[in-house]
């Protein structure tokens, strides 16, 4: 039986890119229409995905059950911990925007969505995860221990064994 608060490991990149496209779409819709209430939709999605992966996220369910099986071109698997970290960053940004909206108004809060749109666009359209890159950097400098993500610490399986160095 699947645990409710389990995050998938590994993560299907096609599903991750679909979720990112959904985040871009909802964020841009909020920016274009001025519908600040959409911050609540984004906030719920990030909380759900950080806590349970796609289990309690309608967008996550759509991405894993409907979209990803049809996007075989982008089916590739990557470790779960960096993706969860990236969702956590999205949560922090969305929470900041939501609190700013409540305290200072939409005109100030909307600017906080721009980094979210940028990072989610890189994931959705180019397959580049900003949060994952940050996670790798934190591992490199020892802030995140290698035990958190063994697959991240040992990249030999992903990139092949490094042979002798040429002169």
CB 151 within 8 A of CB 157: yes
pLDDT of residue 163: 43
pLDDT band at 7 (very low <50, low <70, confident <90, very high): confident
153 belongs to a structural domain:
no
CB 3 within 8 A of CB 69: no
pLDDT band at 155 (very low <50, low <70, confident <90, very high): low
18-62: per-residue pLDDT in tens? 999 999 999 999 999 999 999 999 999 999 999 999 999 999 999
pLDDT band at 150 (very low <50, low <70, confident <90, very high): confident
CB 45 within 8 A of CB 55: no
143 belongs to a structural domain:
no
Residue 12, φ and ψ in degrees, nearest 5? -75, 120
Alpha-carbon distance of 102 to 96, in angstroms, equals 10
68-98: per-residue pLDDT in tens? 989 888 789 999 999 999 999 999 999 999 9
105 belongs to a structural domain:
yes
- Both tokens of 133, joined, read 């890159």
Work out the mean pLDDT of the chain and round it to a whole number. 89
pLDDT of residue 64: 92
CB 48 within 8 A of CB 57: yes
- Both tokens of 139, joined, read 């591992």
Which residues form the domain of 119?
Answer: 11-130
44 belongs to a structural domain:
yes
Residue 153 has pLDDT above 80, yes or no: no
Give percent of the chain with pLDDT exceeding 90: 76
Alpha-carbon distance of 23 to 121, in angstroms, equals 9
151 belongs to a structural domain:
no
CB 134 within 8 A of CB 140: no
The pTM of this model reads 0.86
pLDDT of residue 134: 95
Number of structural domains in the chain: 1
Question: Which is more confident, 161 or 110?
Answer: 110
pLDDT of residue 73: 82
């Amino acid at each position: 039986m699947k645990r409710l608060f389990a995050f998938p490991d590994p993560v299907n990149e096609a599903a991750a890119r679909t979720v990112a496209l959904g985040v871009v779409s909802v964020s841009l819709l909020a920016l274009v229409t001025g519908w600040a209430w959409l911050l609540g939709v984004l906030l719920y999605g990030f909380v759900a995905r950080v806590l349970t992966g796609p289990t309690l996220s309608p967008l996550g369910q759509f991405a894993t059950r409907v979209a990803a099986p049809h996007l075989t071109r982008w089916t590739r698997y990557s470790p779960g911990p960096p993706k969860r970290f990236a969702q956590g960053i999205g949560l922090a940004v969305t929470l900041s925007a939501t609190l700013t909206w409540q305290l200072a108004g939409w005109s100030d809060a909307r600017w906080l969505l721009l980094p979210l749109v940028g990072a989610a666009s890189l994931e959705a359209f180019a397959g580049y995860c900003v949060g994952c890159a940050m996670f790798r950097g934190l591992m490199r400098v020892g802030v995140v221990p290698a035990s958190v993500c063994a697959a991240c610490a040992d990249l030999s399986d992903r990139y092949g064994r490094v042979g002798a160095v040429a002169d």
